[in-house]
Amino acid sequence: MAENTDKMVIDGVELVGIWKEFMPSRILYEDVTTEFLNEVKKLPGGETIAKCYQCGTCTGGCTLPEFVNKFNPRGFINLVRRGHYDLLVSDYKELVWKCVSCNRCTHRCPKGVNTQEVVRAIAKFLEDRKVFGKLTNDEAFDEVFMDEVINEGRIDEVKIVKDFYAKTGRLKEMMSGDQLSLGFKMFTSGRIKLFGGKIKDWKKVSQRLKEELQ
Amino acid sequence: MKLGYFPGCSLKGMARAYDESTKIVAEGFGIELMEVDDFNCCGALEAKGSNEKLSYMLPARVMDSAKGRFHVDAIVTPCNGCYHSLLRANAAMNEDSAAKSDVISFLKDVGYGTYEGDIDVRHFLELFYNEVGPEKVKNAVKKSLKGLKVASYYGCLYERPKTITKTGYKSKRDDSENPYFQDELLAATGAEVVKFEAAASCCGGAHALQDESLAATLSAAVLSAAKKAGADILALPCPLCGAALDIKQPEIVKAHGNDAKIPVVYFTQLIGLAMGKSAKDLKLTDPISNPMEILKSKGLV
């Protein structure tokens, strides 16, 4: 960097220093492939990924780094854009899906990247490529949730919890003393209803939504 | 202005206290809510990660029902999650012509086919602040909450993200980085609103089942920040935060200790209490975190 100490004079003031190297220039890596970028772009919410200019505002305001070591939305986007699929899988696959959707990143992004949805799309990209070797909790919950919404129209909180635990093979945990006493309190106070509200003509809507999924 | 009221699934289940206290408060201040009682789930965060089209169609059907049946100008919801889904669909209807035509053809098939992205979406907290406001609340106080220290918590999706909150807005919105509407409303009841750093932090509720230990850690950070700020009670405007911070509190306290133990209520319950409504009607006995004890000790119930 030392050779970049050229003199520069602005309004009669001489500036010295490595001003040209305020930020190192970007290098286009030879191994860049847009294959993964294009895949993520097509997933729900992935569309805006290419607008990112890597400023890091998302990661700076992110809820998670304080609690989850190495959680870094800017970094996830960078790896996808540079085509570093192997690194994404080996070092970050257990992190990407941890996003809690607080949307501070999307809110603050100066470029209009829908960062929260992009991070979810990257997680989905990894799920679709079966890198986890099993159904992740996130996928399981999304499936259970969407099934219930499409079939019933509304979410019944008890049913969704039960179905989720069943799908992830943890039904026993749900039957722990603490959970049961909580459930009992909810039930006796009337907050758990055995027969949820039904929506008139939902069958027709349900049918139409299912067509949409095909 | 005609208002459709969309409670959402949680308010018809475990967060019924929020539904009932919202109605009590609205009625008390002359806000007429026309309940969209054939509502469906908004799709929450799950629809938008699964299928883009469905994530617009589900909220659109709710708005179509409100507009088709009641000819409303706006739809109001007390849930941060539903608010997010509705705003997001509204934004897509106004910015993405392909999404708009898909949604309209869906609504023509299954609903009234009247909604075209043209009604305002409002959060009950924002609506109540703008249409009623702290001054009127102050004048309506029958039982001052003086002596009660409240942490005013907002959660995530109340004023975030700007990509969708800017769309179709006619009313004055809260400050997205430092929200204050709820603080001012609660202060008007006579309560002391404590300075509380985690007011717009995330409770982790979105992963309450998928990643229980991380969600509990995030919730514990919010609850203990409220306690550290000297609050007796935490008030909030979201049933999902309510589930994470109240219903899950026994588990959180087990893992993170008594620093995270603090009663949690909906802001409408406290406003209702100041209006002189009974604890029974406001369902103040519902929360697992037991707000009755502190309210009794302050002579408020």
Query: Does the pLDDT value for residue A111 go beyond 50?
Result: yes
Higher pLDDT, B209 or A30: B209
Considering CB atoms only, which of A155, A178, A185 is closest to B41? Answer: A155
User: 3-state SS string over B90-115?
Assistant: HHHHHHCHHHHHHHHHHHHHHCCCCC
A186 pLDDT band (50/70/90 cuts)?
Answer: confident
Q: Is B110 in contact with A208 (Cβ distance < 8 A)?
A: yes
SS3 B265: strand
Q: Are residues A160 and A94 in the same domain?
A: no
Joined together, the tokens standing for residue A37 give 């970028």
Confidence (pLDDT) at A3? 47
Cβ contacts of A199 on chain B, cutoff 8 Å = 38-40
Task: Work out the average pLDDT over A20-24.
Answer: 57
Task: Work out the average pLDDT over A10-18.
Answer: 71
- Return residue ranges of chain B for CATH 3.40.50.11810: 134-297
* B254 Cβ neighbours under 8 A, 6+ residues apart: A178
Q: Is the dihedral of CA A126, A127, A129, A135 positive or negative?
A: positive
Q: Is B48 in contact with A202 (Cβ distance < 8 A)?
A: no
Distance of residue A43 Cα from the nearest chain B Cα, in angstroms: 9
Taking the Cβ of residue B139 and every Cβ of chain A, the question of whether any pair is shorter than 8 Å is answered with no
Distance of residue B182 Cα from the nearest chain A Cα, in angstroms: 19
Confidence (pLDDT) at A29? 63
**Looking at the domain assignment, is residue A97 inside a domain?**
yes
Q: What is the tally of structural domains in chain A? A: 2
The yes or no reply on domain B134-297 and CATH 3.40.50.11810 is yes
| Domain end among A84, A109, A128 | A128
d(CA A86, CA A36): 11
| Domain end among A66, A100, A128 | A128
Nearest to B118 by CA among B97, B99, B98, B91: B91
The residue in chain B having the minimum alpha-carbon distance to the alpha carbon of residue A145 is B46
Joined together, the tokens standing for residue A39 give 């895949």
- Return residue ranges of chain B for CATH 1.20.1050.140: 3-123
Cβ contacts of A46 on chain B, cutoff 8 Å = none
**Looking at the domain assignment, is residue A70 inside a domain?**
yes
Confidence (pLDDT) at A1? 40
Q: Is B202 in contact with A157 (Cβ distance < 8 A)?
A: no
Distance of residue A83 Cα from the nearest chain B Cα, in angstroms: 22
Q: Is B46 in contact with A209 (Cβ distance < 8 A)?
A: no
The alpha carbon of residue B5 and the mean position of all alpha carbons in its chain are separated, in whole angstroms, by 13
Taking the Cβ of residue B9 and every Cβ of chain A, the question of whether any pair is shorter than 8 Å is answered with yes
List pLDDT tens digits, range B173-221: 899 899 999 999 999 999 999 999 999 999 999 999 999 999 999 999 9
Q: Is A213 in contact with B51 (Cβ distance < 8 A)?
A: yes
Q: Is B206 in contact with A182 (Cβ distance < 8 A)?
A: no
Query: Does the pLDDT value for residue A57 go beyond 90?
Result: yes
Q: Is A149 in contact with B250 (Cβ distance < 8 A)?
A: no
Joined together, the tokens standing for residue B121 give 């979406």
Q: Is B163 in contact with A114 (Cβ distance < 8 A)?
A: yes
Considering CB atoms only, which of A107, A191, A200 is closest to B162? Answer: A107
Q: Are residues A46 and A124 in the same domain?
A: yes
Considering CB atoms only, which of A102, A149, A157 is closest to B156? Answer: A102
Strand order in the sheet with B74-77: B34-35, B3-5, B74-77, B120-123
d(CA A178, CA A16): 67
CB–CB of B116/B100 below 8 Å?
yes
**Looking at the domain assignment, is residue A45 inside a domain?**
yes
Q: In this structure, which topology does domain B3-123 adopt according to CATH?
A: Glutathione S-transferase Yfyf (Class Pi); Chain A, domain 2 (1.20.1050)
Q: Are residues A174 and A200 in the same domain?
A: yes
Q: Are residues A121 and A149 in the same domain?
A: no
Range of the domain at A122: 35-128
The residue in chain A having the minimum alpha-carbon distance to the alpha carbon of residue B198 is A63
Query: Does the pLDDT value for residue B103 go beyond 60?
Result: yes
Taking the Cβ of residue B93 and every Cβ of chain A, the question of whether any pair is shorter than 8 Å is answered with no
Query: Does the pLDDT value for residue B259 go beyond 50?
Result: yes
Distance of residue A26 Cα from the nearest chain B Cα, in angstroms: 29
**Looking at the domain assignment, is residue A194 inside a domain?**
yes
Task: Work out the average pLDDT over B107-129.
Answer: 95
**Looking at the domain assignment, is residue A64 inside a domain?**
yes
Distance of residue B153 Cα from the nearest chain A Cα, in angstroms: 14
| Domain end among A103, A128, A153 | A128
Joined together, the tokens standing for residue B206 give 């979105």
For residue B234, what are the β-bridge partners? B151, B264
d(CA B205, CA B31): 30
Considering CB atoms only, which of B51, B58, B202 is closest to A100? Answer: B202
Taking the Cβ of residue B98 and every Cβ of chain A, the question of whether any pair is shorter than 8 Å is answered with no
Q: How many CB atoms lie within 10 A of CB A85?
A: 18
Confidence (pLDDT) at B170? 62
pTM of the model: 0.92
Nearest to A41 by CA among A96, A146, A117: A117
